[in-house]
Amino acid sequence: MQQRLKQALSQREKRHIVDASRIPSAVLIPIFYNQGEYHILFTKRTERVKDHKGQISFPGGTYEEQDGTLVNTALRECAEEIGLPAEAVEVLGELDDMPSITTDYLISPFVAAIPWPYQLKVDPMEVEEVMEVPISALLDNNRRRQETDTLNDQPITTYFYDYQGKVIWGATARILNQFLDIWTEVKGD
C-alpha cells in the first residue's frame, strides 16, 4: 500500500500557493501499519503553544532558514515534537499547499511512512497527547461531517472528524480530507 500511495502522490500535480503575506510552514502526515490496518499519528497541542491551542494537528511547524526546504521543516518539527528522527521516516510525497483560515500560515503537507511500534519522546511544552487513529475510523461516515461557510464572500468547506470524543477540524481536517480522497483512490475499495 505504501508503494502504491507513493506512486499516486508522485503522479499528481501539487497545487502550490505563493503568498508572501503568509508564514511558510510544513506538517508531516505520519502513517503506520499496526494490528492489520493503517493508522495516522496526530498530536493534540498544549494550551502553552502560541497558536492553535488544544487543537488536534499533524506534527509540524514554521519554516526556519536553516531548514532549506519545507520537507526538512516537517521532519525537524516531527523530531522536536514527538522524537521521531528524520532517518526513521520515509517521505512518500506531498499534498496541496493549505492556507490556515484563522492564522496567517501557509502549510505544506508531506505524507510519510513511519516505523511502528516506535518509542516516541513527546515535547510536553508543545504536545499534550499523541493519537493513533485508524484510517478506517476516519473514513466512517458516522464520524465525519462537512459544512459550508462563507469567508470574504467565498464559500469554504469545513470538515470535522470525530474520534473517541476528540474532533479534528480546521486546516488539519482539510489536509486530512485530501489525503483520505487519495487513499481511497489508491486502495480501490
* Buried b or exposed e, range 146-178, using 16+ CB within 10 angstroms: eeeeeeeeeeeebbebbbeeeebbbbbbbbbbb
Q: Is 95 left (phi over 0), alpha (psi -120 to 50) or beta?
A: beta
pLDDT at 156: 82
Q: Residue 33, Cα to own-chain centre: how many angstroms? A: 17
Q: How confident is the model over 7-26, as pLDDT tens digits?
A: 999 999 888 888 888 999 99
Q: What is the pLDDT along the chain (189 residues), one digit of tens a residue?
A: 899 999 999 999 888 888 888 999 999 999 999 999 999 999 998 866 666 566 899 999 999 999 999 999 999 999 999 999 999 999 999 999 999 887 889 999 999 999 999 999 999 999 999 999 999 999 999 999 999 887 678 788 899 999 999 999 999 999 999 999 999 999 875
pLDDT at 41: 97
H or E, element range at 31: strand 23-34
- Indicate the class that CATH gives domain 2-134: alpha beta
pLDDT at 155: 83
**Contact in structure between 151 and 101 (CB atoms under 8 Å):** yes
pLDDT at 102: 79
pLDDT at 187: 87
| Cis preceding linkage at 117, omega within 30 | yes
CA distance readout (Å), 48 to 51, 127, 146, 167, 169: 9, 9, 29, 19, 20
For residue 68, give every residue at least 6 positions away whose Cβ sits within 8 Å of its Cβ, in sequence order, or none.
none
Sorted by where each begins, the domain ranges of the chain are 2-134
- 3-state secondary structure string across 94-161: ECCCEECCCCCEEEEEEEEECCCCCCCCCCCCCEEEEEEEEHHHHCCHHHEEEEEEEECCEEEEEEEE
Please choose, from the candidates 31, 100, 32, the residue with its C-alpha nearest in 3D space to the C-alpha of residue 62. Answer: 100
pLDDT at 51: 61
- How do beta strands 23-34 and 105-113 pair? parallel
Q: How confident is the model over 49-75, as pLDDT tens digits?
A: 666 566 899 999 999 999 999 999 999
pLDDT at 189: 58
Q: Cβ of 2: how many Cβ atoms within 10 Å?
A: 16
pTM: 0.93
